Structure 1
Amino acid sequence: MINESVLLESRTLRTSVLERTEVLDKVKALSLLPDGLHVTTAMVAAYFEVGIKTLESVVIDHRDEFRVNGYQVLTGPELTSFKEVSGLNTRAAAIALWSRRAVLNAGMLLRDSKVARQVRTYLLDAETEVRTRPVDNSVHRASWAELDERIDTRITDVLGKTVVPMLNVLIETAGEQRRELISLREDVQEIQLKLVEHDLQLSRLQRGQDVRALTGVIGTIDAMTWKEFELHVAELLRRDGCTDVEVYGGHGGDRGVDITARTADGRTVAVQCKNFAPFRHVLSGEMQKFLGSSKVLHRADVALYVATCAFTRESLAIAAQGGVTAVHRGLLEAWSAGVRLQVLR
């Protein structure tokens, strides 16, 4: 349901979640400089398991954004003063320092880093959980999923804050066993990532159960997978009298639409389904693509773009000009609750 690519595209969204630096430690231990506040470019590259040049390229492309979030390059007297205060031992004439916010910022921009993808997924899942979790003041016993999540988090914490740092020290002082220790460290870090993936799966499962039980129609829709959402929309079409309803399910044979059908009076229908996160917007380019698929390729009489979020002003203008019905979050909720779409009558 959550599309992590939004973080790569939207600086506004990245800014809105930059306070959640704790997700860095949930995914992997982040080593800090002696001052306890900063890390170097090499340390950030090691955390995300990318090359330093890759990281520097991202900084160049988004330099102003990183500066706002605590990235700075020290030279001259500033560098000398920092080395005295922090105890950092380096002969470099300049050094780039990263705050935890800047490191999280990098995690939202590094497209191909496995660790960065874990950070983005964890970050967006945490945001969704906050929005959908109902207020519950009662005392209740922990479920098995909650217990497993605590165990996973505890093990990940121990591995990241104790085992990996200990291995780092041993590697620095090791002789013949250095290669074996490095291999062991890689295995431990792989276990960390597996535990994070398990934790994410449990969180989604638990949140889906909570939403279905304790919230209304739109909450239930938010908890659906993309496949469940397409089937839900297909059932709404059948409820409103459509026939020959076919769900393509992302198999590639749909030529740019997710569902086709025929209205009760014989008109052809083409539907695009997007169960985006609520804070996402359907962009103009996405609407243009569907307009071409529905009207040109399918020659549909009725084109529906059904989304669990809002549409940008530009995408709505394109929809109106091209004859596409934009079913936004509010209209989707009403449709799901029993209101029939006007265009299907």
Structure 2
Amino acid sequence: MIDESVLLESRTMRTSVLGRTEVLDKVKALSLLPDGLHVTTAMVAMYYEVAENAIRQVVKRHRQELTENGMRTLRGSDLQRFESDNLYLSNESYPQGRAHLAVYTRRTILNMAMLLRDSEVARSVRTYLLDREESPRQRPAPNDVESLDERITRLSEASFTKLLGRTVVPMLNALVETSGEHHRELLSLRNDVQQIQIKLVEHDVQLSRLQRGQDVKALTGIIGTIDAMNWREFEEHVAQLLRRDGCTDVELHGGHGGDRGVDISARTADGRTVAVQCKNFAPFRHVLSGEMQKFLGASKVIHEADVALYVATCAFTRESLALAAQGGVTAVHRGLLEAWSAGVQLQVLRSS
């Protein structure tokens, strides 16, 4: 079996197994707050049988990764509302008048298991995850939709796609800027590489959807239901969330050429225009910077939207998150999507 320490070192490997939150209950009973969705730092420490400071140190070192996977720090009115919904937090064991509170989803708790080095419970979770990961590879069924070779190809394509987006395309951009007599040839080469990148992403999505269709019966909970949706169902789900949170004039554009780069348009309760991009990618995928750039142009330049939402069933790369922050796009990653679907209203949709 693969050594469980690989999860401590490889974020890619961690991301590939983050959907298996049911492992937490198989290793040890997990207590949740009354909302059935979150736990506090103290509860995470209790589950993994470590000091709270150990959890805080992991958060300090890996804050971005944990945040992308559902961890939130509540302050002000958000904290007051959360405490009101979880009344037992006000007992003697809970500090009164605190300025902020970190809360974690099941996905974040599983993420924590792959970052905590000195916890026997976390080690058991990692071992269980890798045992589940390796077993199908050792005994592939002859009628599987996706064979072992196809899985390896899919993972290789995902890595190669990231390499193209992060290294090859930027290098060609730099060469184009400084080229002289070979300018036209370099432009053609860059376009070819970008087309390859697009094709690999499309192929990756198709393979992952085939595999996801096999695993639908094993999926549970909110995020499992979302993973089982096709693209049209996912867009309708996001549209329903917008309506639930007070948006009006919610319109689905159906993914046709007339959408001009936006899947859903709407208007907030206080009159601001909303543009939404929906991507039901496989959990191990990441939204790339090039994909974020396209939506930035569509939402902010073409549609001139006041609120831009990029809603995805996966995480975002660091580069795409930086672009989103710079351009005023709210990146609704997998963890935040789960919380939104469970009833938490997006901050950006609230009336100012």
Normalised to the residue count of structure 1, the TM-score between the two structures is 0.43
Structure with max Cα Rg? 1
Normalised to the residue count of structure 2, the TM-score between the two structures is 0.42
Between the two structures, name the one with larger relative contact order (CA 8 Å, sep ≥ 6).
2
